[in-house]
Each structure stands twice: as structure tokens, then as C-alpha cells.
Chains A and B, each alone.
Chain A
């Protein structure tokens, strides 16, 4: 059996060191590559779309690297994991930066946390209420994961929400549709529970 390849998309949005090390840690037998090359991404067995920062820069960088079609294509054809901004970018629209259209791969909106009483960004460890999905294998309900974000996602069709977290209001912490999974939190920074999620992704066939 040849080693699987997991491609982490490098489009200039944030540090990919941690996610690549975490994947190597949980899937040492797989080939983890960090790349901006469309062909490498499309040839990989699995794809990870990370992202840290603001949505405007994120979308600009995806376009500048001419990766929009590649990401859409990968998201339709192989196990695909979006992380943080990589979740928000999959949705239809974000209110951040005066309003930015996303990739619209899954119908949903991104809004800003608004509360007098809450510290923003939502930074730290919060619990995730789970709904059956292979990505949750060996992860108990209500485990803590590490979040850092000021905008939160809401998917139009709640069937696609497989993880829910509450901070002022309930929001989509994890979404899943067909071969796509995306997390608002950072599994690569979420200790054992996060590593287990990455292990599950590395073992997932997308069904």
C-alpha cells in the first residue's frame, strides 16, 4: 500500500508549522505536504485548508494564488478539512471587513460576536456538543477545544452542523457535508482531543 498524501494548502495565511507537525504526529505513515501548487493539491488524497487572520486577506490570497477553483474542486472530490478561517471561507458570506463573499461551497453566514459582557476574541478552551460523524470517533461529547476568533459561523442547513459551541450565542463549531469537515477551533492546538480529531481525519475515507 502506498502512503497517503495530505496536502496542507499554503496560501500565505498564517503559520502552517503546527498543523503540519500535528498531522505528522498522528499519521507518521502518511506523507504530509505544505503546498500552493494546484496540481499537488489535486493529486493529494486529502486536503487541509487552514487559515488565520482576516477574511478579506484570506479571499484575496486564495485568488492571488489562483487557488479558488482548486479548493472548490478538492472540496468536491476528497476528504477535506477546513480549520478556523478555513471553515469561514467555505461559507457564502462574512460580515468581516465590511462584508466579503466566501467560496460559497456550503450555504451559511459569518457574523461578529456582539456583547457587552463577553471578552472578544472568543479565545481559549470551550466545549463542543457533537452530533454523530466519523470525525468524532473516540472523542467524548462536550470535550474542550481551543478557539480564537471574533466572528462565528452559522450554516443555513443545521443538518450540516455536527458540532455546536456557545459563547453568548450558539454557533457552528464544526460543520460537515459529504466529504467536507471544517472546525472553527484549532485541532492542532487542542491537546489530545484535537489530535484525535486529526487522527480521525487522517483515517477518514470521506464517507
Chain B
């Protein structure tokens, strides 16, 4: 009896539509986040993460409706990230049916925000998202989609965020993101070993072996991927079966 390692498909949503393309033959409207989420739910996803990349706050209500709609039909945990800047944003998403919110830039700008959020809503729903890039021998965190350097050490930051109440860390390697060359395993392992909370590895998945490496070498508790699932290269079920064959405990 063990806690299963999780597979988390991630959907980038812009103004209520899935972007970065999704190709599923059995989905009528592959741009509809509700349709895509239902498909992942059927395939056995352990959670689903939505990243709201809508530029204007006027359109944020759209995301709230997406979450409401998904949460009425998909009965696994849902995480929403992107644009979570104040306690009210968190309350709105949780009320809409999200189970967790991912906080990124707002945590860097005001670390106390994470503390307030965890006090108010509980650590279990506060995920701190960290975007890190290697700089010499270390890793530095970046904000604003990786454009803005902060001078903050990623490992120290992860530890600090946990003391502030983060219940989970979503770690994305900016060096690896989009490369399909696998996770930054060294960084993932370093962070996973430095914090007492679960770590989700993200950025770089191109093959099923990458998922396996993320767990075995990166010591991650969960692996997040977007494109390999969106383009139906592999189904979630195939990915889980593959991981199980490599001796990883997954929920099949």
C-alpha cells in the first residue's frame, strides 16, 4: 500500500480556450477546455492543472466559468494557476470548484501573500509555482513567463515558500520547457530533497521515459506534461502503464 505517483496533464487556457493545440480524434471541439479535461479524466489523469494565460484581467471571469464547468463533470483534483494575485482570486477559484491554486509571480512580489493565503485557505490548496533557470552552477527563479530575472536562488526560495505555507511546489525548468529533452533532473532532485512537501516536476517532457526519470532520478512526487498528451502521442493510460512497468506505483 503506497501513495501513487501522479500524472498531471496541464492545459494552457487563453480567454477560455485551450491554446498550444490539442489533437484528439474523439473530441468535437479540442479547443474547449471542458472537452479536453473530460478526455483526460476518462483516461485516468490523477489531477488536471489549468494555466490561465489570459493577458487582461477583464477576461478572467471566463476562466472562472471554465473551472465551474469542468468541476461539474470531472471528479478529480483541479489546480488553477495564472493571475492569482490576491486572496479574493483564490476564494473565487476555490468557490468555482478548484481544489488548489498555483501562485507564481505574486509570491515573488509579496512573499507574505503565500503566508496569508495558507492561513486563510489551508496549505493543502496553496501550490507555489517556481520557474527556474540554470545560472552557472545554481538555479535562479524567473517571473513573467521566464522573462524577468529575480536574483533569487531557486532551492532557497522553495524552502522559504514551504515555511510560508506552500503545500506543494510546481517546479518548471525554463531551460527545458518546450525542448522535449526531459526534465532538469538535477534541479528537481535538489528541490525535492530540500523540501518536506510534494514536488511536481514540469518542463521538457517528450517521451514516456522522461516521466519515469522525473520520478526515479528527479525524485518528484508528480509529473506534469502538456504536449505529449495534447497531441495524443500517448494517452495518460499508456503513460501510467509504462511507468508501472518500470516499477513505479501509479493508480491504474
Query: Judging by beta carbons under 8 Å apart, are A165 and B168 in contact?
Result: no
Among residues 85 to 124 in chain A, which have CB atoms less than 8 Å away from a CB atom of chain B?
A: 119-124
Contact residue among B46, B71, B121, B124 (Cβ-Cβ distance under 8 Å from A121): B124
Residues of B within 8 A of A189 (CB): 75-77, 99
Question: Is the C-beta of A15 less than 8 angstroms from some C-beta in chain B?
Answer: yes
Residues of B within 8 A of A25 (CB): 72-73, 75
Most buried by B among A123, A129, A148: A123
Question: Which residue from chain A places its CB closest to the CB of B41 in the assembled complex?
Answer: A191
Question: Which residue from chain A places its CB closest to the CB of B45 in the assembled complex?
Answer: A191
Question: Is the C-beta of A14 less than 8 angstroms from some C-beta in chain B?
Answer: yes
Distance of B249 from chain A, by nearest CB (Å): 9
Contact A123 B41, CB 8 Å, known A25-B75, A129-B1 = no
* Stretch with Cβ within 8 A of A (4 or more), from B27-35, B90-98, B131-139, B145-153: B90-98
Query: Judging by beta carbons under 8 Å apart, are A165 and B197 in contact?
Result: no
Question: Is the C-beta of B210 less than 8 angstroms from some C-beta in chain A?
Answer: no
Among residues 214 to 244 in chain B, which have CB atoms less than 8 Å away from a CB atom of chain A?
A: 221-222
Question: Is the C-beta of A149 less than 8 angstroms from some C-beta in chain B?
Answer: yes
| B161-180 near A? 1/0 per residue, CB < 8 Å | 00000011000000000000
Most buried by A among B75, B77, B121, B222: B75
Query: Judging by beta carbons under 8 Å apart, are B121 and A53 in contact?
Result: yes
Among residues 174 to 225 in chain B, which have CB atoms less than 8 Å away from a CB atom of chain A?
A: 196-198, 221-222
Query: Judging by beta carbons under 8 Å apart, are A144 and B95 in contact?
Result: no
Query: Judging by beta carbons under 8 Å apart, are A120 and B197 in contact?
Result: yes
Contact A52 B124, CB 8 Å, known A18-B97, A124-B3, A189-B77 = yes
Distance of B28 from chain A, by nearest CB (Å): 21
Most buried by B among A124, A127, A129, A186: A124
| B30-54 near A? 1/0 per residue, CB < 8 Å | 0000000000010010100000000
Contact residue among B46, B73, B95 (Cβ-Cβ distance under 8 Å from A15): B95
Distance of A189 from chain B, by nearest CB (Å): 5
Query: Judging by beta carbons under 8 Å apart, are B251 and A125 in contact?
Result: yes
Question: Is the C-beta of B14 less than 8 angstroms from some C-beta in chain A?
Answer: no
Question: Is the C-beta of A190 less than 8 angstroms from some C-beta in chain B?
Answer: yes
Contact A146 B1, CB 8 Å, known A17-B96, A18-B99 = no
Residues of B within 8 A of A54 (CB): 122
Question: Is the C-beta of B6 less than 8 angstroms from some C-beta in chain A?
Answer: yes
Residues of A within 8 A of B97 (CB): 15, 17-18, 21
Distance of B161 from chain A, by nearest CB (Å): 15
Query: Judging by beta carbons under 8 Å apart, are A191 and B75 in contact?
Result: yes
| B65-92 near A? 1/0 per residue, CB < 8 Å | 0001001110111000000000000000
Q: How far is the CA of A22 from the CA of B168 in the complex (A)?
A: 25
Contact residue among A17, A120, A126 (Cβ-Cβ distance under 8 Å from B4): A126
Contact A22 B3, CB 8 Å, known A15-B94, A54-B122, A119-B221 = no
13 contacts between A and B (CB under 8 A): A18-B99, A21-B72, A25-B75, A52-B124, A121-B197, A124-B222, A129-B1, A148-B167, A165-B1, A167-B3, A190-B75, A190-B76, A191-B41
- Given A52-B122, A191-B75, 20 more pairs with CB closer than 8 A: A15-B98, A21-B73, A54-B122, A119-B221, A120-B196, A120-B197, A121-B198, A122-B3, A123-B124, A124-B3, A124-B198, A125-B46, A129-B1, A142-B1, A146-B76, A148-B167, A165-B1, A189-B75, A189-B77, A190-B76
Which A residues lie at the B interface, using CB under 8 A?
Answer: 14-15, 17-18, 21-22, 25, 52-54, 119-127, 129, 142, 144, 146, 148-150, 165-167, 186, 188-191, 194-195
Which B residues lie at the A interface, using CB under 8 A?
Answer: 1-6, 41, 44, 46, 68, 71-73, 75-77, 94-99, 121-125, 167-168, 196-198, 221-222, 251
